Amino acid sequence: MDAIRLREVSHSYQKTTALVRVSLNLPVGCTVGLIGPDGVGKSTLLSLIAGVKILQEGEVEVFGLRQGIKSEREKLLPRIAFMPQGLGKNLYPTLSVYENIEFHARLFSLNHSQRQQRIQRLLSATGLSPFAKRAAGNLSGGMKQKLSLCCALVHNPDLLILDEPTTGVDPLSRRQFWLLVNELRNENPTMTIMVATAYIEESEQFEYLIAMDEGKILTCAPTQQVLQQNQSDTLEQAYIKLLPEAKQTHWLSDIPTFIADPNLSFAIEAKNLTKQFGDFTAVDHVSFQIAQGEIFGFLGSNGCGKTTTMKMLTGLLDATEGSATLLGEAVDSNDIETRKQVGYMSQSFSLYEELTIRQNLELRAKLYGLPLEIRTLAVEQALEQFQLNQVAENYPKQLSLGVKQRLQLAAACLHHPKVLILDEPTSGVDPAARDMFWQYLIKLSREDNITIFVSTHFMNEAQRCDRISLMHRGQVLAVGKPSDLQQQQQSDSLEGAFIAFLAEQSDQITEHNVHNEEKTENSTALFKQKASRNALCVWLNSVWSFALRENKEILRDRIRLLFAIFGPILLLFTGSWGLSFDTNALNFTVLDQDQSYESRMLIEQFSGSAYFKELPHLGDRSNLNEFLKTGKARLVIEIPPNFGKSLLQNRKPEVAFYIDGSMPFTGENIAVNVKQILVQYHKQLYAEQGITLPFPANLEVRFLYNQTFRSVNAISPGLIMVTLMLIPAMMTALAVVREKEIGSITNLSTSPASVLQYVLGKQMPYVLLAMVNYLMLVVLTMYVIDVPMKGSFAAMTVGALCLILASTSFGLLISAFVHSQVAAIFATAIISIIPTINFSGLLYPRSTLTGLGYWMGLSFPTSWYHLISLGAFTKGLGFTQFFSLYGILLLFFASYLFITCLLLKKQEK
């Protein structure tokens, strides 16, 4: 039986065709190398075989099961491991090395003993044991790749698919990497391994070779057969011959000898450069000198401090000890002029995902101050030089890793700097493109006298450097010409010399023993036992795996945690104390131009009211408007001359009441209160004159609820509603979108977990966090803001849980539509806050709403929870009155979750 069978498979992305009628057969238990230029469809092919992408056309069979049929694909997923392209794309930065592997093990339902045995062995075999507790985000690029491999291998798959797994990995670690893979394959002889690699020489160890170009298969045959047919000694030579003639490149082996100018100062000089992170020393008293125009290679094991050294030389990091100079000037992050003379390319992609390739280059040109007249020409030259014309209007997320690296190098070289500092610029780049890079770099060095400081793990690239430095564990082991270092170690190759230098300084040995003493001969059988576990337990275990991982990430992200805890508290206090419709003790002043008994009696009616507080009287009209404009008084009373006399003569004198209407609601309340006080004033006047007016009825208003008529008693419960809708929804939406941005959502596609398990697992920690927030808000509302609880606290808590389930599901629903964290924040905030505040009863009773506003209120969960919150706080209601409301809120929860599962696809397009 074939392990992999493809028939007429085609795939496209809008107008770009990635695969064209691809057909191939690969036997069970073979190893396959996949090579080809950047962007020819290698990653797409591997993703279709792994079931990560939706099959558009053709047929893909793996172990006799079809990836295009959901039921068959679900049976395949536990048997496949897929390591995506990119540095640590399937990792979680805040989790430790151990926790990342453990999470993947849990996803594939390994029990505790299986996880322990497998993880310890993988850590030991890859040399990651000393870093087991280090966060994945703090690892070097090569170490991230090692960790990604461990995550892929942890469940002992039958098909292992690796998309450029050793990109950025040092030679010794690469050797250990493949020894580990081979050892695991010996345990499971039927394991099929398919690898896309940027290191062509690695493909020589594989039994089969697939070469691709422009979405088509150039050859799929045994590797030795390919070498013989193309009459080549190395696979790289054969690969070049397989390409169309127009694409074949030939390396110009004659590199002009570099001769340093003794009259020029050093371009880069480091003296005892040291960098410590807490107790860890990343760079330990490193010293070297680089002449102007020299190509200086920086080689070293993963995590040895190469990137840290480069960042100190560019001013991105401050040195703990030592000093460094750049173009004769001390490295200073504030020295803009010197920094403009440097081009820096980071190891990971550092340009803007929201901008196209052309826009990224134009922005870089502007930032470095290129004059307008040459800016456009420089961008066009960069696009042509680095073969980016065809994708100039594409966004970086649409590009393969190799094309992204080309873009970064183009950006670094755009402003023609005097010094280029390049951190593994050709990682993930195909050989032809690497040759193009290096021909360009040599031209810059020899013709333009530009200094190039480059780190690399490609030994053939290191051979092209004028001098190289070998680094390990923060220290420089040797500096010199490549040929001199080979001779020093009496090695036939630079790779052999490199490994020899490392072996001298390390307790690691070249032939690393990947056998673990604790390994048992029946380890393969041990891992096959996992299928016997109860199906429900396995299903719940997947949910728990996502929930446990999300919980750890929340606790370690202090910014998110602070926002989740203190954001609701701040919202409650500012809203309760800042938003009030009460009209008590409002300032008023009087311009009394009569000074009679009647005018004083009128003023006493206002000063004796709880609604108003009297200020010193005005002497004239000049300050009247000023009091209202500045807000010193909300009401100004102007009593005209002869007011009392006219009143006694029944002439109906006019009194002016000037009301601050900047807040219409408050202004209307003031007007109502003024009318009521005037009625009482008239009653008192008539009583003093002995006149009794008969009234047909005496109407007294009594409030059944909130007898004190305090706004805060109604607003605070409403603000709890706003908080429970807004914050949990935003947090949940961000959690999913963040995974989309960093790429770790690929783990959903490659694991047996369903979308429902994923969203429930993501949701659980935020439900728990929101419930903690709810309890805090209720306690603060009752004992700090002083709003009494009249009804059942337990009944309101059940309602709060139902609302939180609905709000977190709403956040999940928003995350299905957006692809950036900024969009998630704005979309969730705007869509949730408008109906919550305007149509849920917070500002206006729902019964007063009409038309669209009324229906929007009905169609949002907060309007139903508001009845629970107000009922419990002010009306003394309990479970009996809330059962129907619970059901409606749970219906919102189920509806949002159902739609999310429909929209959030397990497979990519």
Of 487, 510, 527, the residue that ends a domain is: 487
Same domain, 230 and 340: no
Contact between 160 and 193 (Cβ < 8 Å): yes
Same domain, 353 and 470: yes
Same domain, 9 and 113: yes
In the sheet where 2-13 sits, what is the strand order? Answer: 16-27, 2-13, 57-62, 65-66
Same domain, 71 and 181: yes
Please state, in angstroms and as integers, the Cα–Cα distance from residue 853 to each residue in 83, 278, 807, 849, 850, following that order: 50, 57, 20, 6, 6
Q: For residue 457, is pLDDT > 70?
A: yes
pLDDT band at 769 (very low <50, low <70, confident <90, very high): very high
DSSP structure class, residue 258:
P
Stretch 263-285: mean pLDDT, rounded? 88
Same domain, 572 and 591: no
Q: How far apart are CA 231 and CA 753, in angstroms?
A: 47
Q: For residue 320, is pLDDT > 50?
A: yes
Q: How far apart are CA 224 and CA 212, in angstroms?
A: 17
How is 691-727 classified by DSSP, letter by letter? Answer: -----S-------SS-TT--HHHHHHHHHHHHHHHHH
Buried-state track 651-684, b at ≥16 Cβ within 10 A, e below 16? eebeeeebbbeeeeebbebbeebbeebeeebeee
Say what the pLDDT of residue 878 is. 87
Tokens representing 543? 């949910």
Same domain, 105 and 192: yes
Say what the pLDDT of residue 513 is. 43
Total domain count for the chain? 4
DSSP structure class, residue 607:
H
Say what the pLDDT of residue 810 is. 96
Say what the pLDDT of residue 250 is. 58
- For residue 232, the one-letter residue type is S
Q: Which of 146-155, 179-188, 682-691 has the highest mean pLDDT?
A: 146-155
Q: Is residue 908 part of a domain?
A: no
Q: Which region among 198-212, 362-376, 488-502, 516-530 has the lowest average model confidence (pLDDT)?
A: 516-530
Q: Which of 169-173, 312-316, 693-697 has the highest mean pLDDT?
A: 312-316
Place of tokens 């609604």: 611
Residue of 445, 391, 400, 399 whose CA lies nearest to 422: 445
Q: Which residues pair with 657 in a beta bridge?
A: 637
Residue 811: partners with Cβ closer than 8 Å, 6 or more residues away:
728, 729, 730, 731, 732, 733, 734, 736, 766, 828
Same domain, 594 and 458: no
CATH code assigned at 350: 3.40.50.300
Q: Which region among 345-359, 461-475, 576-590 has the lowest average model confidence (pLDDT)?
A: 576-590
Choose between 762 and 874: higher pLDDT: 762
Do strands 329-330 and 216-222 pair parallel, antiparallel, or not at all (unpaired)? unpaired
In the three-class reduction of DSSP (H, G, I as helix; E, B as strand; rest coil), residue 231 is classed as coil
Choose between 11 and 575: higher pLDDT: 11
Q: Which region among 244-253, 491-500, 562-571 has the lowest average model confidence (pLDDT)?
A: 244-253
Q: Which region among 52-66, 228-242, 635-649 has the lowest average model confidence (pLDDT)?
A: 228-242
Say what the pLDDT of residue 98 is. 94
Choose between 62 and 242: higher pLDDT: 62
Q: Is residue 262 part of a domain?
A: no
Q: For residue 530, is pLDDT > 50?
A: no
Q: How far apart are CA 6 and CA 23, in angstroms?
A: 5
Average pLDDT, the chain: 84
Stretch 83-94: mean pLDDT, rounded? 84
Please state, in angstroms and as integers, the Cα–Cα distance from residue 19 to each residue in 16, 48, 173, following that order: 9, 11, 33
Max intra-chain CA distance, the chain: 127
Say what the pLDDT of residue 26 is. 92
Stretch 500-517: mean pLDDT, rounded? 55
Buried-state track 858-874, b at ≥16 Cβ within 10 A, e below 16? eebbbbbbbbbbbbbbb
For residue range 831-889, list pLDDT tens digits in order: 998 888 888 877 777 777 778 888 888 889 998 998 898 888 888 888 988 999 999 99
Q: For residue 165, is pLDDT > 80?
A: yes
Same domain, 229 and 117: yes
Q: For residue 825, is pLDDT > 60?
A: yes
Contact between 427 and 409 (Cβ < 8 Å): no
Residue of 67, 102, 27 whose CA lies nearest to 549: 102
Same domain, 122 and 13: yes
Residue of 875, 829, 639 whose CA lies nearest to 728: 829
Please state, in angstroms and as integers, the Cα–Cα distance from residue 580 to each residue in 143, 573, 576, 716, 847, following that order: 57, 12, 7, 10, 21
Stretch 684-696: mean pLDDT, rounded? 68
Q: Is residue 257 part of a domain?
A: no
Q: How far apart are CA 617 and CA 603, in angstroms?
A: 10
For residue range 325-339, list pLDDT tens digits in order: 888 888 887 777 877
Q: Is residue 512 part of a domain?
A: no
Q: Is residue 609 part of a domain?
A: yes
Choose between 806 and 171: higher pLDDT: 806
Q: Is residue 716 part of a domain?
A: yes
DSSP structure class, residue 557:
-
Q: How far apart are CA 683 and CA 78, in angstroms?
A: 88
DSSP structure class, residue 80:
E
Q: Which region among 69-73, 308-312, 504-508, 627-631 has the lowest average model confidence (pLDDT)?
A: 504-508
Q: For residue 511, is pLDDT > 70?
A: no
Buried-state track 492-503, b at ≥16 Cβ within 10 A, e below 16? eebbbbbbbbbe
Residue 481: partners with Cβ closer than 8 Å, 6 or more residues away:
466, 467, 468
DSSP structure class, residue 265:
P
Same domain, 459 and 367: yes
Place of tokens 């002016």: 656
Please state, in angstroms and as integers, the Cα–Cα distance from residue 605 to each residue in 41, 596, 645, 683, following that order: 86, 15, 19, 11
Q: For residue 730, is pLDDT > 90?
A: yes
Q: Which region among 19-33, 108-122, 247-261, 521-535 has the lowest average model confidence (pLDDT)?
A: 521-535
Same domain, 790 and 812: yes
In the three-class reduction of DSSP (H, G, I as helix; E, B as strand; rest coil), residue 282 is classed as strand
Q: Which domain holds residue 663?
A: 586-688
Contact between 655 and 639 (Cβ < 8 Å): yes
Q: For residue 78, is pLDDT > 80?
A: yes
Say what the pLDDT of residue 522 is. 46
Q: For residue 399, is pLDDT > 50?
A: yes
- For residue 495, the one-letter residue type is E
Q: For residue 518, is pLDDT > 50?
A: no
Same domain, 398 and 475: yes
Helices 711-742 & 558-578 angle (0-180, nearest 10): 160
Q: Is residue 615 part of a domain?
A: yes
Q: For residue 102, is pLDDT > 60?
A: yes
Residue of 158, 154, 160, 155 whose CA lies nearest to 63: 158
In the three-class reduction of DSSP (H, G, I as helix; E, B as strand; rest coil), residue 435 is classed as helix
Place of tokens 């009211």: 609
Residue ranges of the alpha helices (H) in 130-260?
141-153, 171-187, 223-229, 235-242
Q: Which of 42-51, 276-285, 641-650, 797-806 has the highest mean pLDDT?
A: 797-806
In a 13 Å sphere around the CA of 892, the CA atoms on its Cβ side amount to: 26
Phi/psi at 777 (nearest 5 deg)? -65, -40
Q: How far apart are CA 734 and CA 335, in angstroms?
A: 37
Q: How far apart are CA 405 and CA 85, in angstroms?
A: 13
pLDDT band at 580 (very low <50, low <70, confident <90, very high): low
Do strands 475-480 and 467-472 pair parallel, antiparallel, or not at all (unpaired)? antiparallel
Q: Is residue 699 part of a domain?
A: no
pLDDT band at 699 (very low <50, low <70, confident <90, very high): low
